[in-house]
Amino acid sequence: MSNDVKKTYTEKELASMSQAELAALGTEMDGVTVAFRKDRWPVENDPNEKRAANGVAIWLAISILAALGFLATYLFWPWHYRALGDEGHVFHTLYTPMLGLTAGIAILALGMGVNLYVKGFIPEEISIQRRHDGPSDEVDRRTVTALLNDAWTTSTLGRRTAIKGLLGGAGLLFGLVVVAPLGGAIKNPWRAHELDYNGDGTLWTSGWTLQEKGVKLYLARDIGTIAEKYEGESGTHFTTAGLSRLVRVRPEDLSSGAMETVYPLAEEDVNDGDRYNPESHAYENHMHSIHGPRNAVMLIRLRNSDAERVIEREGQESFHYGDYYAYSKICTHIGCPTSLYEAQTNRILCPCHQSQFDALQHGKPIFGPAARALPQLPITIDEEGYLIAEGNFIEPLGPAFWERKS
């Protein structure tokens, strides 16, 4: 690689060379020609050098302050939702912009500091090197190390304690800006909160678990209502007063061979039929039910001839109501919605990886990667003729997790 340059040196010869000599030898052996090299500050104690160092220090200090600002915002800023007009609404709306602003300034100032340092203190140099093939000799490795050391020395960073500290601090804090938000993603999967339409926060529960607490749960369909516009004194607003997103389902609402996606609707959130109240604000709870991670259920009305061929699973013989069967919509493979019901074959299809489940055999998987049956919800009708849950699911919903036994 290094042409006619001497490349065999004894350990003693190498040890006797200074760093500068080794660096020079390295460039020679690598076929590198230093065409131009100039120190940025050849005159000692040049006042301009101090000014340049101050410029770098200012940017690094800004980066540190912005990174600290980001961490303070992330940890202490009031981020909980506040509705328009509520106290603290402005702070709530500024949370995300503040995170973006402080993180942006931190990285920008760090970049500026590094950039100014490189431009202001690393010697200007133009080197030309020929390429070579194959592994490097010991002498090459030693000289490369010396070159790197030389780069460190000539960068003068080693003796610029303040800038070195600021650079390290800015780098460290910027690293925290990147890493700290990941802490928000760490959750205790066993920590339960109060049970609601989202379950209690653990994988064992869903909105249907409310039934175990004595809450009457209707099987309700999503009719897609959206907030209504009205003109108020202060301009155009939207309201959900009196609106219903979920309405109760009666058996006669589905034709034979039909499938409907239903969600749990607690009795106190009913706002349809003879219980309609134009002042009700149940809409928000309806949305919570629809968004509950394991709440969606497929209500299937089998054709009469098919209903006669159903093979019930042991312990679930009474879970259906007539020819109505309710299966969890959450695929037992990895949790996609098993949205497709094919009435001719009574197969339920998950579009993600093509698992198929047999609606005539308690949702048993018959094709694809899913290994467990779709959990079945016990259903019946109440005294008014609306479909309701007669109990909770008797097994966890969705894909497997560590503590799950079946």
Under the rule (CB under 6 A), what is the footprint of ligand FES?
A: 331, 333-336, 350, 352-353, 355, 368-370
Three-state SS for 364? strand
* Minimum distance, C-beta of residue 342 to ligand FES, in the bound complex (Å): 15
Q: Is 177 or 330 the residue whose CB approaches ligand FES more closely?
A: 330
Q: Which amino acid is at 323?
A: D
* Minimum distance, C-beta of residue 371 to ligand FES, in the bound complex (Å): 10
- The CA angle 264-300-213, to the nearest 5 degrees, is 25
Q: Is 62 or 370 the residue whose CB approaches ligand FES more closely?
A: 370
Could you give the residue ranges of the DSSP H alpha helices within 30-137?
Answer: 47-76, 89-121
Q: Is 303 or 347 the residue whose CB approaches ligand FES more closely?
A: 347
Nearest to 241 by CA among 197, 274, 271: 271
* Minimum distance, C-beta of residue 71 to ligand FES, in the bound complex (Å): 38
Q: Is 333 or 372 the residue whose CB approaches ligand FES more closely?
A: 333
Q: Is 265 or 370 the residue whose CB approaches ligand FES more closely?
A: 370
* Minimum distance, C-beta of residue 209 to ligand FES, in the bound complex (Å): 23
Q: 174: phi > 0 → left, psi -120 to 50 → alpha, else beta; which?
A: alpha
* Minimum distance, C-beta of residue 338 to ligand FES, in the bound complex (Å): 6
* Minimum distance, C-beta of residue 355 to ligand FES, in the bound complex (Å): 3
Residues 1 and 239: their CA atoms lie apart, in Å, by 78
Residues 236 and 72: their CA atoms lie apart, in Å, by 36
How big is the chain by its Cα radius of gyration, in Å? 35
* Minimum distance, C-beta of residue 298 to ligand FES, in the bound complex (Å): 13
CA max distance for the chain = 102
Residues 292 and 210: their CA atoms lie apart, in Å, by 12
- The CA angle 220-223-225, to the nearest 5 degrees, is 125
* Minimum distance, C-beta of residue 52 to ligand FES, in the bound complex (Å): 59
* Minimum distance, C-beta of residue 79 to ligand FES, in the bound complex (Å): 33
Q: Which amino acid is at 23?
A: A
* Minimum distance, C-beta of residue 335 to ligand FES, in the bound complex (Å): 6
Tokens matching residue 317: 């013989």
Q: Is 56 or 350 the residue whose CB approaches ligand FES more closely?
A: 350
Q: Is 123 or 369 the residue whose CB approaches ligand FES more closely?
A: 369
Asked if residues 397 and 406 have their Cβ atoms less than 8 Å apart, the reply is no
Nearest to 375 by CA among 402, 351, 348: 348
Q: Is 348 or 379 the residue whose CB approaches ligand FES more closely?
A: 348
Q: Is 102 or 332 the residue whose CB approaches ligand FES more closely?
A: 332
Q: Is 221 or 333 the residue whose CB approaches ligand FES more closely?
A: 333
Residues 312 and 146: their CA atoms lie apart, in Å, by 78
Residues 278 and 254: their CA atoms lie apart, in Å, by 27
101-112: buried (b, 16+ CB within 10 Å) or exposed (e) per residue? ebbebbbebbeb
* Minimum distance, C-beta of residue 334 to ligand FES, in the bound complex (Å): 4
Q: Is 2 or 332 the residue whose CB approaches ligand FES more closely?
A: 332
**Contacting residues for 73 by C-beta, under 8 A, at least 6 apart:** 95, 98, 99, 102
Helix crossing, 47-76 with 89-121: angle to 10°? Answer: 150
Residue 26: how many CB atoms within 10 A of its CB? 22
